[in-house]
Every structure is written in C-alpha cells, then in structure tokens.
Structure 1
Amino acid sequence: MPTTPTHSRLPGRRRLGSLAVGCALLVAALAGATGPANATAATNTTNANPQDDPVTAAQALAAPGVPGANDWSCKPSSAHPRPVVLVHGTFANGSVNWDTVAPALAMDGYCVYALTYGAMPGIPVLRAIAPVADSAQQLATFVDGVLAATGAGQVDIVGHSQGGMLPRYYMKFDGGASKVHTLIGLAPSNHGTTLDGLATLAQSFPGAAALVGSACPACTDQLVGSAALTALNAGGDTLPGVTYWVIATEDDEVVTPYQSQFLSGPDVNNVLVQDLCPLNHPDHVLMAVDPVVLHEIRHALDPADVSTADCSANLTG
C-alpha cells in the first residue's frame, strides 16, 4: 500500500479552519444515540428479509430521520445518474452518522440513501458490531433495493470507518463489484487497526467500551491481521471497474497509522486532508462532518467539480 497520497489537485498551503461547527453537529448527533429515532434504526436492522421485494427489504434497513436521505421515489438525474449509498461506521448508525453529508448531497441533486446495519442480539443501540461478512450481506440487500427503486444500474458509496472498508467486502464476496461505480472511504479500516484504536473509538459511544474484544465481532474483524481482512486484501486491494477514493487525516487516532487506510491499485485516489488544507485537523470521528472532507466527497462523486477546497470553511470568526 502506498505511504503517500496520490492526488492531482493539491493546492498550496492555506489557513487553519476551526472544527467547532463540526464538533457541535457531532455532539448533537451522539447525544441522540439512545433516543427514539435510533431505537427505530436498531429495530430496522433485524427486519430485512432478502426474500422480500428488493425495495421492501431495503426499506427495512433504512436509517430513519436522516435529512435528505431515503426518498424511495427519487429518480436520478442525467447530471447525477447514480444514487449515493451512505454506510456508517462501527458503534454508530445511519441516523447519527450522516447529518452533514446526506442533506448536502441531496441539495446537490443526488438521490441519497442511508442504512443502519450490524446489530447483535441483546445489544441495544450500538450498531456495525456484527461480523463483517453478515453486515456485507445487509449492504447487498440495501443496494439491490436502491437500484430497484431508482432504476439505476450502479450506485456510488460513501463510507466512514468500517463503512469505508465494508463495501470492499461486499464487492469481493457478495457480487457487488458490478453494482458499484465509485467507492469513497472516509478514514476506512482497509488494512486494519489495533485494539487500542477501537478502544479509542469506543470512548465516543456510551456502552461501547465494554464490547471491544468481547461482544463485537466487527471489532475483531477489523484488527490488523484478522482472517476477514486477510481474505479481503488477498490478491490485491481493488477490483476492476470500480473507482476508489480514500480520504484520510494525519490526526486519525483510531485507524493507525493513517497510511494503512490507503489502497494500492488502478483507479485509486488516496487523499490526505492536510494536503488540501495543511492546518485543517479533523480526527477520525469528525471526518464525517468536516467541510473539507465534504468538498472532496463532492469531487470524487463528480470529477468535473474541480473547485478549490475552502480551508476557511470552519472558521468561527
């Protein structure tokens, strides 16, 4: 895997942007992690049946209350012909992970869909903790439903943390490669992390720390050298026909070293936030709300969008 990012649009050094706005959004989202909306999301992860109509099965996995997402009547436009599927990270769910990205992409004219996956029996609230292989099958069900509802031939996927690695598993082992045009991973666990990294992540989610290394198969699957990651990365990081983007931050304290997130292979774009805005320093969790990251997501979804990242977007004044 490469140790340096490859990117064709690296502007010069810019001013520091505060992360206060992003922090406020994330704290507000996490504060609701035990609320009714997320209880609904948790229930939905257990109701999907692949034998159902594809749209019905996907709707059972849809995360409720995500602004701009999961309009099952949405039809992609010629400008944005592929729906965008948002895949959350470990311990989170779709209802809290995408309050920034989903409405922004919907305003851009994309059909946006977010699921909640990875429940374990007897464990409330916390999601994306089931075995990666099981969660990949839920993603397969969701993508099939999105394609059936929209009439599109492929989706683009934006995933955070485990959600950036999981689609690779789906594409390699569950027939998803032909159904995905572009995969954008935000701080993805592509080559694994350490137990210390997962423990650090767990500190952001009440009740998660007790699961690390015990009742969280996804945690074990994401450890460096795990059987799941060994199988995933055997034979190369990429599959033909898919465009890959990895957006990382040097301040990632969960998936470390951050270079382990990068992929090797054709059609790979590895981007470091600090190469766009050297003084911008989101950590692992804040990658889901950072405006510079959102700028790069937009570029990855539409390479014709070559605007310069606004490195003052997070200034508080």
Structure 2
Amino acid sequence: MLPWKRVLRPLAALLLAAAAVTVPASAAHSAPAAATTSSGWNDFSCKPSSAHPRPVVLVHGTLANSVDNWLVLAPYLKDRGYCVFSLDYGQLPGVPFFHALGPIDKSAAQLSAYVDKVLAATGAAKADLVGHSQGGMMPRYYLKFLGGAAKVNALVGIAPNNHGTTLGGLTKLLPFFPGAEDLLNAATPALAQQVVGSDFMTRLNAGGDTVPGVRYTVIATRYDEVVTPYRTQFLTGDNVRNVLLQDLCPLDLSEHALIGLVDKIAFHEVANALDPARATPTTCASVLS
C-alpha cells in the first residue's frame, strides 16, 4: 500500500484549490494576456486555407488558462497551417490565471459565444475543438445542450474527464473530511461537478456520450493520475475514435498534465484527428515531427 502522504496528496490538492479561491486576490493581478497575433495565434484576421478550412479553438483545462495550456500545441498547429484560437473560461471573481473553476454549464455558454466570434471573424461554417482535461469534456455540454453540434465538425479531447473521476479512489474519502464537499461545491463548482456520480456528469452522459454530426477523438494516457480510471475518458457512440497513447508509443510516460502541455506524440495524433484524410502513423518517432 502506498504511504498515506502519497495517497492523500491529490485529494489535499483538490481541497486546497477550493480553499485558495475563497481568499480575495490582489487587485494588481490580472488575467493572462491573449497570445500575440504576431505568431498567428488568436489572430482574428486569419482566414482558413482550402487545406485547413476550419479554425481550431483550443479549450484549456481546470486551473489553467488560454495561454499557459497551449504554449506548445498552438504554435504546433499554427505551423501546420491552421488558424488557431484559445479562450479563457470559468473564471471566478478575484482569481487570476487559474480558470475553469466556475459552473461547467456557464463555461459551455462562454465557449458558445467564443465559437460564434471565431466563425464570424474567419467566415468558416464550422470549427474544430481541441481540449485538455475539463476542456475536452466541457465542449460536450455545448454540443449536446447549446446547439454546438451545428457549428462544430470535430472534438478532440486530450485526457478528458468524460465520465467523472475518482482521483484514484480518493473522492470516496471526501465524506470523512467535514465540510469538504460543501467547500468544493461552493468555492469551485467545476471541481465538484467533475467527481464521478455528480449530477452534472449524470446529465451530461444521459442518453449517450455523443451527438450526431460531430467526430470525436479521445487521446488518453495509462499514466493519468487525475482522471481515473483512465479508461473512463473513452467515449462510446458513432464517429468515435479512442486512442491510448501507449498503444502508439509504449515509451511515452506522459501523465495527465504533460500529455496536454508538451507531448508531441499526442499532438501528432491531434493533427491526424483534425485532418484524417492526410493522417500519418503516430509512433515514438512522431516526437521529432
């Protein structure tokens, strides 16, 4: 059995994140600036090419933001000819930099408005979405309940929390911490909503994981320590491709954060999902591409 300190660390981090946002932040702090348009990232003058006719909207994960989550993937896709955009969502008052903590249904409404803005600017009929962690799951609410299926061609989830997480079984310990569940619900709704069995997860997955007309790709790692068990990330339904990173490259040891932040093997598979007609095999050598 693992030492108690190691077993409880993820649960403690979850509770500390909830507690931290109850402390007012200094007014001197502000949200991260949008990625500079000089790089072609978040450039609203970008027009999709005939080779890549849809803009790509990147959706960050919990406790992340529109810049830090995409410092590698955004340039990776931009260099391959895509118009790339990213948004901040789920902000809480007085909490800079660390977003995706507010109610997930409201975050999905923010995504809806942002996709409309991107489509209007680019002239494209539909967008493709790529999200990490909560950012790979939250768009499913947009697709299912907010009319997003008519505006989205594909959703690519990198380590998405599609069916709730147990944090390796540690969420079962929440009842033993007095006030812990109330703290999560009140201070950081998105954290509480992502626990397996939550009302939000039940509603999201009722009647099936997918909606017609959208292609779904899930890219997971067996070493994920946040969304557990890792196979709960996978979707069932039409137009779904579930990918385990280690089936493509057994040497890849990326866990939950690294697969979305820096993993070029995962990013190669993202590119394949965005342009399946030009897909090439993803292997350990894809890190060099």
Q: Which residue of 1 aligns with 2:253?
A: 281
Separation in structure 1 between the aligned mates of residue 279 and residue 121 of structure 2, nearest angstrom: 31
Query: What TM-score comes out, normalization by structure 1 length?
Result: 0.74
Mapped pair 1:298 → 2:289? no
- Does residue 1:70 correspond to 2:70, yes or no? no
Q: Counterpart of 1:94 in 2: which secondary structure?
A: coil
2:164 and 2:240 map into 1 onto residues whose CA distance is 18
- 1:240 & 1:313 partners in 2: Cα distance? 31
Deviation at 1:240, TM superposition (A): 0.3
Measure, in 1, the Cα distance between the counterparts of 2:184 and 2:256.
Answer: 17
Q: Which amino acid aligns with 2:30?
A: A
Task: Give the aligned partner of residue 142 of structure 1.
Answer: 114
Q: Which residue of structure 2 aligns with residue 267 of structure 1?
A: 239
**SS in structure 1 opposite 2:115?**
helix
For 1:219, give the aligned amino acid: L
- Tell me the CA shift for residue 310 of structure 1: 4.1
Question: Which residue of the other structure, out of 269, 280, 284, is the alignment partner of 1:307?
Answer: 280
Is 1:228–2:228 an aligned residue pair?
Answer: no
> What is the alpha-carbon distance in structure 1 between the residues aligned to residue 72 and residue 184 of structure 2?
27
Contact preservation (8 Å) 2:214, 2:239: yes
- Gaps of at least 5 residues in structure 1 are 1-33, 45-62, 200-210
Q: How far is 1:175 from its partner?
A: 1.0
Counterpart selection for 1:238 from 200, 207, 210 = 210
3-state SS of paired residue (2:227):
coil
Amino acid at match of 1:40: A
Give the direction of change, closer, same or farther, for the CA distance of 1:241–1:123 in structure 2 (3 Å limit). Answer: same
Paired residue for 2:178? none
In structure 2, which of residues 31, 44, 53 is the aligned counterpart of residue 40 of structure 1? 31
Q: Where does 1:101-140 land on structure 2 (aligned, <5 Å)?
A: 101-140=73-112
- 1:197, 1:253 within 8 Å by CA — same for their partners in 2? no
Structure 1 counterpart of 2:62, which letter?
A: T
Aligned residues between the structures: 248
Aligned to 1:22: none
Q: Which amino acid aligns with 1:280?
A: D
Residue pair 2:162, 2:233 contacting (<8 A) in 1 also: yes
Identity %: 58
Letter in 2 for 1:241: G
More helix by share: 2
- Structure 1 residues 196, 212: CA separation in 2 closer, same or farther (over 3 Å shift)? farther
Please show how residues 148-297 of structure 1 align to structure 2 within 5 Å: 148-194=120-166, 215-288=187-260, 289-297=262-270
Is the partner of 1:108 in helix, strand or coil? coil
Query: Contact 1:197–1:255 at 8 Å: present in 2 too?
Result: no
Which whole-Å deviations, capped at 9, do the CAs of 1:240-291 have from their partners, x for residues lacking one?
A: 0000000000000000000000000010000000110112111000011101
Contact 2:57 2:115 in 1 (8 A): yes
Distance in 2, Cα, partners of 1:187 & 1:84: 18
> Residues 166 and 100 (structure 1 numbering): CA distance in 2 closer, same or farther, change over 3 Å?
same
Runs of 4 or more off by more than 6 Å in structure 1? 196-199
Q: Is the 8 A contact 2:168 2:229 kept in 1?
A: no
Which is bigger in relative contact order (C-alpha 8 A, separation at least 6)? 1
In structure 1, give the amino acid aligned to 2:35. P
Please state how far the C-alpha of 1:308 moved relative to its aligned partner: 2.5
Could you list the runs of 5+ residues in structure 2 that have no partner in the other structure? 1-24, 172-182
TM-score, reference length from structure 2: 0.81
Q: For each residue in 1:167-221, what CA deviation from the matched residue of structure 2 results, as whole angstroms up to 9, or x when unmatched?
A: 000111111111010000000000011256899xxxxxxxxxxx85651100011
